Amino acid sequence: MSPEEFRELGKQVVDWIADYRAGIESYPVRSPVEPGWVRDRLPAHPPERGTGFEQVLGDLDEVLLPGITHWQHPAFFAYFPSGASGPAVLGDLLSSGLGVQGMLWATSPACTELEALAVDWLAELLGLPPHFRTDAAGGGIIQDSASGAALVACLAALHRASGGRVAAEGITGRYAMYVSEHTHASLARAARISGIGEDNVRVIGTDPRTRGLDPQELDRAIAADAAAGVVPALVCASIGTTSTTAVDPVRQVGEVCRERGVWLHVDAAYAGVAAVCPELRWISDGVAECADSYCTDPHKWLLTNFDCSVLWVADRGPLVQALSSTPEYLRNPASESGAVIDYRDWQVPLGRRFRALKLWSVLRWYGAEGLREHIRSGVELAREFAGEVAADDRFELLEEPVFGLVCFRPRYPDLDPAAADRRVLDRLEALNSAGNAYLTHTEVDGRVQVRMAIGAAGTERRHVHATWDAIRAAFFG
């Protein structure tokens, strides 16, 4: 495809996306197709001869769109939002167009330097401590996901806990990780992947009121492991759990970690970006003093398309030592000089895209003001919605929302708990099948809760109101 063909077809694709975004409300939010529907409508075998790009756009319109769940739909309230704003999409397009590899500083210096600066900017916007900056002892990096971030944090923690021995010797003793029942599943997965094993993940109890991890029980569990010869490797505190956006008491948890010499990873994947608003910055209390690593995802609530999860470490040493190895074909003068960051030593893959461009575009386009406005709009709509739920006594609000997520359930007083939960799930499925909105569920204290996650880029008050009408009709229609 020549540059001139690209110019012409590229504009068609831009038009296609602009039309898609402008008309997105005409689609059912959740795809209605059955398994196999999409595949069955596409050719079983690859073409011998190439075809024009109109064929790709044809596949898209006729076969793929019905199989798409529209995450950018303003009535998408499932999981967490996955912001793909215009400037982010354009930043990503520039990255694809340049087509550079940023595995080493030397393989495209701008890719590394813009990333380091963009994550430093973000640290400043979120009020994170100066030692997290890439121009200090720590540093930030864009990872593919909070799962990837949790894994590398775990590897750095294992490196430190083993006195630098695991990289060479492997796991030769028992190591433990500490989480709560509300911690994201990616932590237990990091324990599996890193060879710690899921049996060595201690699930610490929580305060029944706040669902926050109990620091006293954590302290006892760490002491018991240490006494039994199990090496405590990593504690995870969450700011905004996936189920209900609960916030662990980071400072108290962190004090236990410092006392016991255990790595503290803070998983603020969803909620961390909210600290762009000064009134929400309390969520980071204790991070500056206690966190060894900290992760938040601009690709959730900060208008940046997936993947863009930012991990910061207080000290880059253990991370780089855990992951670095240099075959001859990657040696170069800049790396040997020690004057540059080689981000391949901070992540699982070797190669890397120029993801900083999309974060940069978002920070430039919206500025601090625009980002705060976006977060505040989500919080405000969530509070209003929670107010409606609380005012309707057929529903039970789990708690006042702090961020953009509202958890609630319809009361079915005539049914026993199991039957009531089944009905909630059935009615939720019917609501989602109707296509006007999409919500998911979770389980809290053994009971099903409906999750309404507000924060998609296009969501306005009218979408929340219309969905509240649809919810009442679905659960009590």
Least separation in angstroms between CB 326 and its own copies:
8
Which of residues 26 and 325 has its CB atom nearest to its own copies in the complex?
A: 325
Q: Which is nearer to its own copies, 26 or 393 (CB)?
A: 26
**Closest CB 29 distance from its own copies, rounded Å:** 11
Residue number, 45 or 209, with CB nearest to its own copies: 45
Q: Which is nearer to its own copies, 363 or 431 (CB)?
A: 363
Q: Which is nearer to its own copies, 258 or 462 (CB)?
A: 462
- Name residues whose C-beta falls within 8 Å of residue 247's C-beta, 6 or more positions apart in sequence: 210, 212, 238, 239, 240, 241, 271, 283, 402
Nearer to its own copies, 118 or 397 (CB): 118
Provide, rounded to whole angstroms, the least separation between the CB of residue 198 and its own copies.
5
**Nearest in space to 284 (alpha carbons), one of 244, 232, 324, 238:** 238
CB of 240 to its own copies, least distance (A): 13
Question: Shortest gap between Cβ of 168 and its own copies (angstroms)?
Answer: 5
Q: Give least dist CB 382 to its own copies, A.
A: 17
* In the complex, least distance from residue 426 CB atom to its own copies, rounded to whole angstroms: 11
Closer residue to its own copies, CB minimum distance, 203 or 289: 203
Residue 263 beta carbon to its own copies: minimum distance, rounded to whole angstroms:
16
Closer CB to its own copies, 426 or 469, in the complex:
426
Closer by beta carbon to its own copies, 121 or else 468 = 121
- Residue 57 CB, nearest approach to its own copies (Å): 9
Alpha carbon distance 329, 189 (integer Å): 32
